[in-house]
Amino acid sequence: MKIKQGQAENLLQELDFSRGLVTAVVRDWKTKEILMVAHQNREAVLKTLTTGLMHYWSRSRNKLWLKGESSGHFQRVKRVFLDCDGDALIYDVQQKTAACHMGYYSCFFRKLEKNRWKIFRKKKFEPEEVYAAI
């Protein structure tokens, strides 16, 4: 899904960036499994809409980033939903390999079980191998 620059800029007018960032909930476009939750500034949303690839604002690194830029695990946008307040988006994406930088398909690979966090998923890749060059 790609949108022309002018059309994307018009769509941004309905988003509320008054606190600087909007929430991006990202899920698998077929299974609807939540893959990750991140944040986007105006530029990240604009780049996402115009390129069809997920872009985010990293609060820890204080910079814009393209998901997959270092791992090759890109997220291709299939559908986008906007909440009633204009401050949260749901993106349905086609995920290559895995979304989580720790090697799991989803960042939600732990669940609460018997008062402990238990890993219930198998890794898709080893982070040390994928991110070794960084």
CATH number of residue 54's parent domain = 3.10.20.810
**Pairing label, strands 55-58, 22-28:** unpaired
C-alpha to C-alpha distance for 41 and 55, rounded to whole angstroms: 9
Domain of residue 70, residue span? 5-99
In a domain, 106, yes or no: no
Half-sphere exposure of 83 (CA within 13 A, CB side): 11
C-alpha to C-alpha distance for 109 and 86, rounded to whole angstroms: 28
In a domain, 119, yes or no: no
In a domain, 133, yes or no: no
pLDDT tens for each residue of 14-36 = 999 999 999 999 999 999 999 99
In a domain, 117, yes or no: no
In a domain, 112, yes or no: no
Residues 6+ apart with CB under 8 A from 4: 50
In a domain, 52, yes or no: yes
pLDDT tens for each residue of 45-90 = 999 999 999 999 999 999 999 999 999 999 999 999 999 999 999 9
In a domain, 105, yes or no: no
Q: In this structure, what token pair is assigned to residue 56?
A: 């985010």
In a domain, 127, yes or no: no
First to last CA, the chain: 30
Whole-structure pTM value: 0.93
**How many domains does the structure of the chain reveal?**
1
- Angle separating helix axes 5-12 and 42-51, nearest 10 degrees: 140
